[in-house]
């Protein structure tokens, strides 16, 4: 496999790379700063972007930052269930045995969080799948005047349609409490080049494997989407390894794009 062929320490183009190998470009650092600002100024933060743009990677790094601050991040991603299921997941993550009814579970959460000195931050990934009742109850949990002394925060992270959902009148209280909207975008051309080089260097590769024309073709075909770049780059490395080529040129990329199912 190409990992041994190119003397890599690990597969560079996947979601499970070491956190210190993540490509933290200027836009990424700005997004982290906006998240921190939102949590400091309010109880709710919002992240949106297209599939594969790096939202979950941002949450991963933000979670680590919270831990460094001695805050408690709680990551939730099974979000296509009703409010009582979401509340039970939160209670379980806090070390509680969830009770039977939603109101009792919410009381459990409030009692448990009241014992924390620092923030408890709910990181809700795939938030575009949350049903209406779950969104409303999450807002009430973190923003109700009854709970205003709790250090409980909420980060909603989802696809762009989450923004349209939150613009509905019923969610006006959520929108009004979001200081800044973190919008994750695909890479521009120069970022795609830097992204590929950075990931390869992190995996221990000190020579340029992808030729400039190849990277341009990968960028154009992926629209600068990190997830699609990873997929195409991996297929190109497999093809180059099969051809016993030390470089990924434009011909290899074209062959991959013409013969592989990418979408």
Cα–Cα distance, 215 to 171 (Å, whole number): 42
Q: Tokens at residue 132, please?
A: 């209406």
Q: What is the pTM of this model?
A: 0.92
**Residue 79 to residues 63, 168, 184, 261, Cα–Cα distance (Å):** 18, 19, 20, 29
The single residue listed with the structure tokens 């014992």 is 115
* pLDDT tens, N- to C-terminus, the chain (263 residues): 889 888 999 999 998 999 999 999 999 999 999 999 999 888 999 999 999 999 999 999 999 999 999 999 999 999 999 999 999 999 999 999 998 889 999 999 999 998 898 999 999 999 999 999 999 999 989 886 555 557 899 999 999 999 999 999 999 989 999 999 999 999 988 899 999 999 999 999 989 999 999 999 999 999 999 999 999 999 999 999 999 998 999 999 999 998 877 76
Cα–Cα distance, 207 to 200 (Å, whole number): 9
């Amino acid at each position: 496999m190409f990992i041994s062929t190119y003397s890599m320490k690990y597969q560079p183009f996947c979601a499970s790379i070491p956190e210190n190998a993540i490509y933290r470009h200027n836009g990424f650092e700005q997004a982290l700063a906006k998240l921190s600002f939102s949590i400091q100024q309010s109880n709710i933060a919002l992240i949106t972007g297209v599939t594969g743009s790096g939202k979950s990677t941002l949450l991963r790094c933000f979670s680590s930052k919270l831990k460094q601050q001695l805050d408690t991040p709680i990551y939730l991603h099974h979000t296509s269930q009703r409010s009582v299921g979401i509340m039970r997941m939160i209670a379980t993550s806090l070390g509680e045995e969830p009770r039977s009814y939603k109101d009792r579970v919410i009381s459990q959460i409030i009692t448990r969080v009241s014992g924390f000195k620092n923030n408890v931050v709910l990181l809700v990934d795939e938030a575009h799948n949350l049903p209406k009742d779950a969104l409303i109850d999450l807002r009430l949990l973190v923003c109700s005047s009854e709970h205003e002394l709790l250090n409980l925060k909420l980060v909603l992270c989802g696809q762009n349609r989450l923004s349209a959902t939150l613009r509905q009148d019923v969610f006006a209280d959520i929108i009004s409490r979001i200081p800044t909207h973190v919008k994750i975008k695909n890479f521009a051309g120069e970022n795609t080049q830097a992204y590929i080089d950075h990931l390869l260097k992190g995996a221990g590769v000190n020579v340029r494997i992808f030729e400039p024309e190849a990277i341009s073709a990968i960028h154009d075909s992926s629209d600068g989407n990190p997830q699609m770049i990873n997929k195409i780059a991996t297929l190109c490395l497999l093809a180059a390894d099969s051809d016993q080529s030390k470089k990924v040129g434009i011909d290899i990329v074209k062959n991959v794009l013409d013969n592989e199912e990418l979408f």
